[in-house]
Amino acid sequence: MKKKFLNLDKQPLANSFLPSSDSKTLSKEFFYNLSISFDTINYLVSVTDPVNPKSQYTDKYAHRASESLTMRKAFSKIANKLEKKYSPKIVMEIGSNDGVFIKNFSKKKVIAVEPCRNLANLTKQKFKTYPDFWSKKLAKKIFKKSRKADIIFSANTISHIPNLKETFEAIEFSLSDNGVMIIEDPSLLSVIKNNSYDQFYDEHVYVFSALAISNAVEKYNLRLFDVEKTDTHGGSMRHYICKKHASYRTTIRLKSVINEEKKMKLNKFTTFKKFSKRVKESRKKLLQIFKKLKLSNKKIISYGATYKSTTVFNYCKINQRYIDYVTDTTLNKQGKFTPGQHIPILSPEKGMNSSVDYAFLGAWNFKKEIFKKEKDFIRRGGKFITHVPKVKILPK
């Protein structure tokens, strides 16, 4: 049974960066109520009323996974590891974005699936790309021509698809008998530990625990046999799944993660009620900092026009009263306005100048990479504001 535990108020689509802030554009902006629920039977944490995927994954999709060095390195590392360990003949990726993961394999063996046309167009010149949503119909079309996949990889995508039944049935159909499916997404364990409520937005229909994934796949002749924690996106989990009768043994790593999740009570509704209280406190503290700094005339900007900051800005009502502008390296975000609160987005070259006193870490998950890049800002006394895991100013 689904029980609501968190209300993040009225939100725009996290990806809906606006081309202009004139009244005509703003009058057409779409909003919905974002609330999060916990299912007391299967332990899934999900957006209570998901948005229609057709309005989210369009030919204007903004996120480019290659924008960060951290992600380029992480995807190349896991691709090499999978190649060595499994020597796959066919590798398929669901949600291939700009190809950051799958480009690491020989193009003869890869199949990419990407519903956002602008992204699929980027990769289709380089390797086989299907510009479609993942479905049973598509799986049948792909594997009419190809042998089944030995590796199916999907990072930050399965959590975006409301219909898990269709998703896993299509995966079961596409996997070779001893094939392995790897699902990587931000982990519920990290979200609860870090109070990173901004991992909840329209696209993150689910934030998975290993407990929930294990329950979810069992119904479709699949089995979770291993899990690997990663640092990416503020703490993610790679779930390794195979067919029920494949040869892989359940690992000690999986048993220990399941134990940790039970210890953290990720199977109890009360955990999420407590989390919801901490989220409200986080909003209060963040606004206190912004108000205090503004009273002393400090210039604050935001670093990284992330989808996560769409949630923070709209939940906390942070607009140009507090933040002059947002900087982002992604070309197709620059010159646009943030969803809902309409803060202008500039390139870092223009925006990270000597007039900036404070930068809110919209991309807190890349803190290490950003601190390294912004040594000069820090050296001249510039500070960052973060809300994860606690609201604070950095460096101290």
Q: Which is nearer to ligand JHZ, 123 or 176 (CB)?
A: 123
**Applying CB under 6 A, which part among 114-122, 128-136, 361-369, 382-390 lies near ligand JHZ?**
361-369
**Closest CB to ligand JHZ: residue number:** 304
DSSP string, 16-55: --BS--SHHHHHT--EEEEEEEEETTT--EEESSPPPHHH
Alpha helices in the chain, H assignment, sequence order: 23-27, 53-56, 69-86, 117-124, 136-145, 164-174, 188-194, 210-218, 252-263, 269-295, 307-316, 348-351, 367-373, 375-379
Sequence-distant (6+) residues with CB within 8 A of 36 are 4, 5, 6, 8, 45, 46, 47, 48, 200, 272
In the structure encoding, which two tokens stand for residue 56, read together? 């989210």
Q: Which helix (H) or strand (E) holds 7?
A: strand 2-12
Q: Is 206 in the site for ligand JHZ (CB under 6 A)?
A: no
Q: Is 282 in the site for ligand JHZ (CB under 6 A)?
A: no
Choosing from 235, 304, 340, 351, the residue that interacts with ligand JHZ (CB under 6 A) is 304
With b for 16 or more beta-carbon neighbours within 10 A and e for fewer, the 251-273 pattern comes to eeebeebbeebeeeebbeeebbe
| Least Å from the CB of residue 321 to ligand JHZ | 23
Task: Yes or no: say if 14 and 310 are a contact pair by the CB < 8 Å rule.
Answer: yes
Q: Measured between alpha carbons, how far apart are the two ends of the chain, in Å?
A: 45
Q: Which is nearer to ligand JHZ, 176 or 341 (CB)?
A: 341
* Contacts of ligand JHZ in 110-139 (CB under 6 A): none
* Contacts of ligand JHZ in 140-159 (CB under 6 A): 156
**Applying CB under 6 A, which part among 82-90, 137-145, 289-297, 302-310 lies near ligand JHZ?**
302-310
| Least Å from the CB of residue 366 to ligand JHZ | 4
Dist. CA 46–CA 160, nearest whole Å: 10
Q: Is 66 in the site for ligand JHZ (CB under 6 A)?
A: no
Dist. CA 91–CA 79, nearest whole Å: 10
Q: Is 367 in the site for ligand JHZ (CB under 6 A)?
A: no
Residue in this structure with the two tokens 């924690």, named with its chain if needed: 229
Choosing from 8, 17, 67, 99, the residue that interacts with ligand JHZ (CB under 6 A) is 67
Dist. CA 346–CA 74, nearest whole Å: 27
Q: Is 237 in the site for ligand JHZ (CB under 6 A)?
A: no
Task: Yes or no: say if 73 and 44 are a contact pair by the CB < 8 Å rule.
Answer: no
Q: Is 188 in the site for ligand JHZ (CB under 6 A)?
A: no
* Contacts of ligand JHZ in 321-340 (CB under 6 A): 327-330, 333
CA angle 379, 385, 390 (to 5 degrees): 125
Q: Which is nearer to ligand JHZ, 88 or 351 (CB)?
A: 351
Q: Is 68 in the site for ligand JHZ (CB under 6 A)?
A: yes
| Least Å from the CB of residue 65 to ligand JHZ | 7
Q: Is 366 in the site for ligand JHZ (CB under 6 A)?
A: yes
In the structure encoding, which two tokens stand for residue 281, read together? 């406190």
Q: Is 307 in the site for ligand JHZ (CB under 6 A)?
A: yes
Q: Is 315 in the site for ligand JHZ (CB under 6 A)?
A: no
299 phi and psi, to 5 degrees?
A: -90, 120
Size of the site for ligand JHZ (CB under 6 A): 23
Sequence-distant (6+) residues with CB within 8 A of 112 are 92, 93, 96, 99, 102, 120, 123, 127, 128, 129, 130
Choosing from 174, 209, 314, 365, the residue that interacts with ligand JHZ (CB under 6 A) is 365
Q: Is 236 in the site for ligand JHZ (CB under 6 A)?
A: no
**Applying CB under 6 A, which part among 23-31, 129-137, 270-278, 304-312 lies near ligand JHZ?**
304-312
**Applying CB under 6 A, which part among 114-122, 258-266, 351-359, 363-371 lies near ligand JHZ?**
363-371
Choosing from 113, 363, 388, 391, the residue that interacts with ligand JHZ (CB under 6 A) is 363
By the criterion CB under 6 A, which residues form the site for ligand JHZ?
A: 63, 67-68, 156, 203, 233, 304-308, 327-330, 333, 348, 363, 365-366, 369-370, 373
